[in-house]
């Protein structure tokens, strides 16, 4: 069942989203060659705690970090490690969640470490743009399929692979709620969007192929093709005046 948030709920979600967005912004500004993903995770963790919030991901389903940090061909759910370093030319996806006053905010972006290859630069630009195409389609009285199709249509035009095994999701008092929000779909189909609905749109886009594999650690998801992958996400609310992005810092 999809929960419809009250004005009070939405106000609390804005605060959680602002904290998550601030943590993501700080993470992006902190990335540098030579640092470990565990060091980056600590920056995210300490920021969220300093805001009086709790990292959504820490301990969630047994996940050991406060952020999912995925590099290059890692799509999502990369575990922060002291043995894993970020190098010049890498693309680094940082997925962050924060709980504040009982509600979650969830956001992600993929950042370049220094100068990156042109194909990586284009992937980041297209994936981020597709997120905003999806958000733009998230109008009251539209259908969920309109949002999903907007992402798919934009990325497919570039010949990119669209991850189908994982998707966006509803969010609120729980990190994952109904509805599921795939990055592909048919326009005019699916749940009708109603003011008070809140969910995450999160394109996960590969340079080549849709298929993914999960590493032996049980968390880290890799492109089956070995190609680069990018991931961008915002938590949004449906309002009578258009979609509201709740995870801006």
Per-residue pLDDT of the chain (249 residues; tens, 9 = 90+): 999 999 999 999 999 999 999 999 999 999 999 999 999 999 999 999 999 999 999 999 999 999 999 999 999 999 999 999 999 999 999 999 999 999 999 999 999 999 999 999 999 999 999 999 999 999 999 999 999 999 999 999 999 999 999 999 999 999 999 999 999 999 999 999 999 999 999 999 999 999 999 999 999 999 999 999 999 999 999 999 999 999 999
Structural domain of 211: 7-241
Considering the domain boundaries, does residue 123 fall inside one? yes
* 99 and 12 Cβ atoms separated by less than 8 Å: no
Is position 77 within any domain?
yes
Q: What is the DSSP letter of 143?
A: B
CATH number where 70 lies: 3.90.230.10
Give the tens place of pLDDT for each residue, 79-94: 999 999 999 999 999 9
**Can you give the pLDDT at residue 80?**
98
| Residue-level pLDDT at 235 | 98
Q: Is residue 1 part of a domain?
A: no
pLDDT attached to residue 64: 98
**Prediction pTM value:** 0.98
Q: How many folded domains does the chain comprise? A: 1
Contact present, 199 and 169 (Cβ < 8 Å):
yes
Q: What is the pLDDT at residue 219?
A: 98
What is the structure's pLDDT at 87?
98
Other C-beta atoms within 10 Å of 35: how many?
17
Asked whether residue 227 is domain-assigned, the answer is yes
CA distances from 38 to 49, 78, 110, 170 (A): 16, 11, 17, 28
Structure tokens at 23: 């943590």
- Looking at 121-246, which runs of residues are DSSP E strands? 161-162, 168-170, 177-181, 198-201, 204-206, 212-214, 221-223, 229-231, 234-237, 244-245
Closest by alpha carbon to 155, among 195, 192, 176, 124? 124
Over residues 152-184, the pLDDT tens digits come to 999 999 999 999 999 999 999 999 999 999 999
CA atoms of 77 and 72, how far apart (whole Å): 13
Prior bond of 240 cis (ω within 30°)? no
- Rounded to 5°, the CA angle 108-93-54 comes to 50
* 2: in domain: no
Task: Give the per-residue pLDDT at 174.
Answer: 98
pLDDT at position 119 is 98
> Does 134 fall in a domain?
yes
Per the domain annotation, does 196 fall within a domain? yes
Q: What is the chain's Cα-based Rg?
A: 17
161: its two tokens: 């692979």
Question: Considering the domain boundaries, does residue 216 fall inside one?
Answer: yes
Chain-centroid distance, C-alpha 111: 12
């Amino acid at each position: 069942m999809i929960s419809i948030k009250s004005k009070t709920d939405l106000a609390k979600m804005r605060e959680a989203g602002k904290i998550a967005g601030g943590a993501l912004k700080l993470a992006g500004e902190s990335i540098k060659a030579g640092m470990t993903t565990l060091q980056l995770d600590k920056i995210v963790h300490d920021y969220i705690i300093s805001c009086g919030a709790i990292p959504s991901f820490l301990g969630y389903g047994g996940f050991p970090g406060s952020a999912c940090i995925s590099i290059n061909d890692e799509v999502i759910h990369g575990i922060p490690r002291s043995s894993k370093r970020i190098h010049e030319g890498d693309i680094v996806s940082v997925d962050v969640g924060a709980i504040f006053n009982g509600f979650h905010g969830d956001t992600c972006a993929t950042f370049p470490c220094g100068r990156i290859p042109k194909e990586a630069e284009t992937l980041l630009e297209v994936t981020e743009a597709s997120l905003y195409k999806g958000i733009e389609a998230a109008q009251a009285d539209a259908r969920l399929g309109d949002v999903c199709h907007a992402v798919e249509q934009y990325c497919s035009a570039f010949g990119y692979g669209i991850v189908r095994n994982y998707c966006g999701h509803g969010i609120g008092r729980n990190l994952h709620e109904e509805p599921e929000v795939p990055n592909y779909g048919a326009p005019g189909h699916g749940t009708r969007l109603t003011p008070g609905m809140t969910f995450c749109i999160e394109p996960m886009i590969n340079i080549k192929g849709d298929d993914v594999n999960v590493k032996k650690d049980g968390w880290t998801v890799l492109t089956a093709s070995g190609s680069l992958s990018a991931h961008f996400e915002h938590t949004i609310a449906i309002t009578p005046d258009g979609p509201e992005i709740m995870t801006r810092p």
